[in-house]
Amino acid sequence: MPGVFIKTYGCQMNERDSEAVAAQLVAKGYTLAPSEAAADVILLNTCSVRDFAEQKAIGKMQNLAADVRKNRPDVVLGFMGCMAQSRGQELIDRLPDVDLVLGTQKFHHAADYLDEILAGCRDKIVDVAAEPGSEATIREHLLNGSGKKSITAYVSIMQGCNQRCTFCIVPDTRGEERSRSIPDIVAECRQLVSQGVKEITLLGQIVTSYGKREKRDAWRVACGTGDPSPVTRHPSRTSPFVQLLDAVHEIEGLERIRFTAPHPKGYGDDLIQAYARLPKLVESAHLPVQSGSDRVLKLMHRGYTRERFLGLVKKLRRAKSNIGITTDIIVGFPGETEDDFEQTLALAREVEFDNAYIFKYSQRRDTPAAEMPGQVPLKIREERNHRLLETVNEIGKRKYDAFIGRRTQILVEGPSKKNPARMTGRTRCNKIVVFDGAERHRGQLLDVKITRAGSFTLYGDPAVVNL
């Protein structure tokens, strides 16, 4: 049977999509090739969020195409995911060795399209159309990839984003917000838990908007008015996302729940209270702030102010004092002045994020910010990136060092990637802990004593591991 190799760029949603496509292909009789060199089909699952990510995937495909043309003309090459969606046919025009371009609502057709290409029935296939219901097609998992049980799993709860931040290409690449139903998601989670999964991360481009569109539509139908009543007037005070958390929390045998990514604007009090109410919801929040300047936040169309963001952090820490908070920040957004940037630096110092992912602003096609005046020169973006990174790392180091000497609970996931002789787990606040454990610890909740802190990694003392 043909062997497939999928290389994934970008976010956890892409990781999850690749896993589902791989599982669907395996179900149809394909095998998973251990390397590109051994594969009959090579798919690149792409990211469009910054130009750098696109260039990386295009460069990779150019190398693959050159090799395939020279040495292995029968190998099938494909792009899938966000860049496939935004560029479509253009990718084949530029790279004529590419056989398949599969958009973000079409992952579940991968097997059929590859069958047709491999059988010689069709030459090139480009499918980037919208497909109603596609949000519910990412459901298959590969839990025993290495023959070992997976302890953690991602579950895709929705697709798309309606927020339209002015810098962001995601609404174009992922489409309108569409959510799966609670029973559908819970059934998938139950299945995972029955196969040994202990921790589930609920995934979506904007999980705080989960079910909002569907809820509003249902409300309009129920009222018989067709009136676009705002969701806040709905009688239920609990947002659909918190209803989903409640439902997943009920699953027996599930130990931990995480989610990503929320939008600070949609982070309601009911979600904050959920941390205090639901013991399986771990003390961790990824809160993308993007900027510390109100002027820039407005230009970005973020829908909150610096003060509201700081208020949210305060409320979360009041609910759970030891919550781990991480963020995304863009430096050099069009029009960002030195003063705006210093407000971002000050915000990072004030919040003391456990970690922050910093991005140099990148112009994306058909986004409003790409046309805004005051584009910031690369040199300044790099310099701001460097300064912010120093601040974030210094704070992160202090926060990680503060764990030394503490006992903390970890869920053991498996061997460490860097050093497979050691085991790795994560704290509830989402910090990686490496320790001298053994395969039998996989899936266990262990108390370890932290002895050392590296850069964004903690090390546990095996002497006090509960055996």
Which residues of this protein are in contact with ligand 5AD, per CB under 6 A?
49-50, 167-168, 288, 290, 328, 330, 359, 361-362, 364
Give the shortest CB-388-to-ligand 5AD separation in angstroms.
12
Secondary structure of residue 212 in the 3-state scheme:
helix
Give the shortest CB-158-to-ligand 5AD separation in angstroms.
16
C-beta separation of 36 from 64 below 8 A: yes
Nearer to ligand 5AD, 186 or 370 (CB): 370
C-beta separation of 169 from 31 below 8 A: no
Closest CA to 136 of 204, 191, 200: 204
Secondary structure of residue 294 in the 3-state scheme:
helix
Give the shortest CB-144-to-ligand 5AD separation in angstroms.
30
Give the shortest CB-213-to-ligand 5AD separation in angstroms.
21
Nearer to ligand 5AD, 51 or 447 (CB): 51
C-beta separation of 238 from 270 below 8 A: yes
C-beta separation of 283 from 323 below 8 A: yes
DSSP 225: S
Tell me how far apart the alpha carbons of residues 338 and 344 are, in angstroms, rounded to a whole number: 10
Tell me how far apart the alpha carbons of residues 130 and 39 are, in angstroms, rounded to a whole number: 30
Nearer to ligand 5AD, 150 or 173 (CB): 173
Nearer to ligand 5AD, 178 or 364 (CB): 364
* Strand positions, DSSP E, 73-118: 76-81, 100-102
Tell me how far apart the alpha carbons of residues 263 and 238 are, in angstroms, rounded to a whole number: 17
Evaluated on CA atoms 266, 49, 18, 438, the torsion sign reads: negative
Give the shortest CB-357-to-ligand 5AD separation in angstroms.
7
Nearer to ligand 5AD, 63 or 162 (CB): 162
Give the shortest CB-167-to-ligand 5AD separation in angstroms.
4
Could you check whether the bond before residue 66 is cis, i.e. omega within 30 degrees of 0? no
Nearer to ligand 5AD, 100 or 161 (CB): 161
With 0-12 / 13-18 / 19 or more C-beta atoms within 10 angstroms meaning exposed / middle / buried, residue 91 is buried
Nearer to ligand 5AD, 110 or 369 (CB): 369
Nearer to ligand 5AD, 24 or 205 (CB): 205
Give the shortest CB-185-to-ligand 5AD separation in angstroms.
23
Q: Strand 423-427 to strand 458-461: parallel, antiparallel, or no bridges (unpaired)?
A: unpaired
Give the shortest CB-360-to-ligand 5AD separation in angstroms.
6
